[in-house]
Amino acid sequence: MSLRTTKQASQANGVSTQAAQEWARQTAQYLRARQLAAQAQMAPLASNARVATQQGVYGARAWTAPRLELMAQALQEQWAPRAAAALAASARRVDPVPAKSRRRWPAVVGGAVLIAGGAAAAVVILNRRNSVPATEPAEPGEAASAAGTPPEMAAADVNGQSQAT
């Protein structure tokens, strides 16, 4: 067996290089013509498909919009209060117990002011009671044993009992 080159093989079959190139050129022209014909047929179909798709999308949106609106309204009226209540209950369960305020000084100051005010009022009342002038004795020879006390009470003890003299 002998080795032949490509050129020798093509010459042996009777096909020349020029014939192959011519065949490729004719095939390319045929395919280009078929492409143009298919494009001419498909252009109106693609345009119609585009218009149909736009109309379909518009129709789907027109059908969907009112249903979405009704669903949103139902969610707001029925589910939202339930969800809000559940979230609030969860928040109350999760929230730690707040520490009591240890501010006692306002109560202490308030108590001190109250006591001071009561003491001041007592002092004013006692000063007014003691500043009343003593009345003169009913008889000129009797001396008043206590300021503003009747003579029968002058001999009375602290507990209200009289001493026997």
pLDDT tens string 25-57: 999 999 999 999 998 888 888 888 888 888 888
Whether 96 maps to a domain, the answer reads: no
Whether 24 maps to a domain, the answer reads: yes
Which string of DSSP letters, residue by residue, matches the chain? Answer: -----HHHHHHHHT--HHHHHHHHHHHHHHHHHHHHHHHHHHHHHHHHHHHHHHHHHHHHHHHHHHHHHHHHHHIIIIIHHHHHHHHHHHHHHHSPPPPPP---HHHHHHHHHHHHHHHHHHHHHHHHHHTSPPPPPSSTTPPPSSTT--HHHHTB-TTSPBPP-
Q: What is the pLDDT of residue 63?
A: 87
Q: What is the pLDDT of residue 37?
A: 92
Return d(Cα 10, Cα 14) in angstroms, integer: 6
Low-confidence ranges of the chain (pLDDT < 70): 1-15, 132-165
The average confidence (pLDDT) of the chain is 78
Q: For residue 147, which of 160, 164, 129 has the smallest C-alpha distance?
A: 129
Count of structural domains, the chain: 1
Whether 45 maps to a domain, the answer reads: yes
Tokens of 4: 């032949």
Whether 46 maps to a domain, the answer reads: yes
Q: CB–CB of 125/118 below 8 Å?
A: no
Q: What is the pLDDT of residue 27?
A: 95
Which domain covers residue 53, as residue numbers? 19-90
Q: What is the pLDDT of residue 24?
A: 93
Whether 33 maps to a domain, the answer reads: yes
